[in-house]
Amino acid sequence: MSGQDVAIVGAGIVGATLAAALAPHARVLLLEAEDQPGYHSTGRSAAFWSETYGGPAIQPLTSASAAAFATGGWLEPLGSLHIGRAEDEGRIDAFIAAFAGTAIPLRRVDPAALVPGLRPDWVHGVLEPSCAYIDVGGMHGAALATAKRNGAALATGARLEAAERREGRWRITTTAGEFVADVLVDAAGAWADAVAVLAGVRPLGIQPYRRTMAQLRTERAAPEGMAHVADIAGRFYFKPEAGGKLWLSPHDETPVDPHDVAPEELDVAIAIDRFEGVVDWRVTAVERRWAGLRSFAPDRLPVYGFDPQVPGFFWAAGQGGFGIQTAPAAAELAAALLLGRGEMPAGVDPARYSPTRFGVSRS
Ligand SMILES: Cc1cc2nc3c(=O)[nH]c(=O)nc-3n(C[C@H](O)[C@H](O)[C@H](O)COP(=O)(O)OP(=O)(O)OC[C@H]3O[C@@H](n4cnc5c(N)ncnc54)[C@H](O)[C@@H]3O)c2cc1C
């Protein structure tokens, strides 16, 4: 049995980046149930960084992450074109207004000039040029390497089965042995509530939702440099990938219990049907399909902070569809709270993401 300052449950992007931020200052143990860190949501994302994605309450975390992404070299230019039909004019106006106070360079464009074969009912376009591809694997690997270089231990195949707080420390039982730590961090993604329950902490209502992705071949290849295309009404998005491929999502959000999720054929069919209503490109093959879980707190904001009722239990959960693009600033925020330091990422208000917003006595 070994003693640690902090044990982090979950070695996806959230646990890994937090371990990297903490390791120079604390003895860190990263516990991962799977043999492969990144097997769940982190390895199944659409891999883009967009300052508007998730809305104005998420934007500060995304924008504050930009510098770390640039330093790591994990972004490649992509751009995002938000499109709408005549009836979406109100949504387009509201979208631009929502980000008016930020430095995000949004501008109205003619969408047909940017997407060849766009069907004529898509009349509105807003370009977000700063949207970028993320090298998720590179970023996740670098975070794990930084954590290890600074002394953090990673235990894979180590599923947390029980955690008990005794004499101010956590006694942690996992499938890879027993550990002791002062603080237990819940970075278990879709299993965040389940891990809380194992530690005797009241769940917050973190709900996983299935999201489907398909990799397509189309008769007409996406032109070089085409932006990510997203429906302003939130019914699809697609983006070009290397080798003339296209990644498409129907933007589905089906509530499910946490599990190793697989795509449903119907969701792939819905995605293709919507896609064919946007452009006149014929789909010639579905090369790959997958699904992942996006997990949200009831108010759809992430949760970073100590549980108000159980000492030594820290939440890093509810990252929804923006856990990768916000990871650097979120890790900085969580590390500052865990280490009791005052410096927060620029523009980030920790109170907004605190678990205390759900009240002290939930039932
Ligand atoms: C289809 C799809 C597209 C997405 N696109 C984007 C995007 O473009 N940009 C973006 O920023 N975000 C995107 N996201 C969201 C992003 O993937 C998630 O927000 C992020 O990966 C969450 O990271 P995580 O570390 O919390 O979760 P995970 O990667 O799921 O990690 C949690 C880990 O906890 C482990 N665990 C669970 N229970 C236990 C236990 N009892 N003991 C030990 N370990 C345990 C799991 O094995 C898992 O590895 C997308 C998500 C999906 C599904």
Q: List per-residue pLDDT tens for the chain, 363 residues long.
A: 357 899 999 999 999 999 999 999 999 999 999 999 999 999 999 999 999 999 999 999 999 999 999 999 999 999 999 999 999 999 999 999 999 999 999 999 999 999 999 999 999 999 999 999 999 999 999 999 999 999 999 999 999 999 999 999 999 999 999 999 999 999 999 999 999 999 999 999 999 999 999 999 999 888 889 999 999 999 999 999 999 999 999 999 999 999 999 999 999 999 999 999 999 999 999 999 999 999 999 999 999 999 999 999 999 999 999 999 999 999 999 999 999 999 999 999 999 999 999 986 544
Among 39, 41, 62, 319, which is best to mutate for testing ligand 1, by the most ligand atoms less than 8 A from CB?
41
Which positions ≥6 away from 86 have C-beta within 8 Å? 121, 123, 124
Which pair of tokens denotes residue 55? 């809305």
Q: Are 305 and 314 in contact (CB under 8 A)?
A: yes
How many angstroms separate the CA atoms of 286 and 57, rounded?
35
Say what the pLDDT of residue 362 is: 46
H helix or E strand, kind and range, residue 71 = helix 66-72
In 3D space, the residue among 361, 360, 363, 358 whose CA is nearest the CA of residue 303 turns out to be 358
Among 17, 42, 52, 267, which is best to mutate for testing ligand 1, by the most ligand atoms less than 8 A from CB?
42
> Does 15 contact ligand 1 (Cβ within 6 A)?
yes
How many angstroms separate the CA atoms of 189 and 205, rounded?
12
Cα radius of gyration rounded to whole Å, the chain: 21
Total residue count of the chain as it appears in this document: 363
> Does 324 contact ligand 1 (Cβ within 6 A)?
yes
How many angstroms separate the CA atoms of 161 and 172, rounded?
8
Say what the pLDDT of residue 1 is: 39
> Does 321 contact ligand 1 (Cβ within 6 A)?
yes
Say what the pLDDT of residue 4 is: 84
Say what the pLDDT of residue 221 is: 81
Residue nearest atom 12 of ligand 1, based on CA coordinates: 322
CB atoms within 10 A of CB 60: 22
Atom number in ligand 1 closest to CA 320: 19
Give distance in angstroms: CA of 284 to centre of ligand 1.
Answer: 31
Fold of the 2-43+136-205+299-358 domain? FAD/NAD(P)-binding domain (3.50.50)
Q: Can you give the residue ranges of every domain in the chain?
A: 2-43+136-205+299-358, 80-129+207-296
Quote the DSSP letter at residue 279.
Answer: B
Using the structure block, give the residue that is written with the tokens 């003619």.
110
Just give the CATH number of 80-129+207-296: 3.30.9.10
How many angstroms separate the CA atoms of 8 and 30, rounded?
5
Say what the pLDDT of residue 363 is: 44
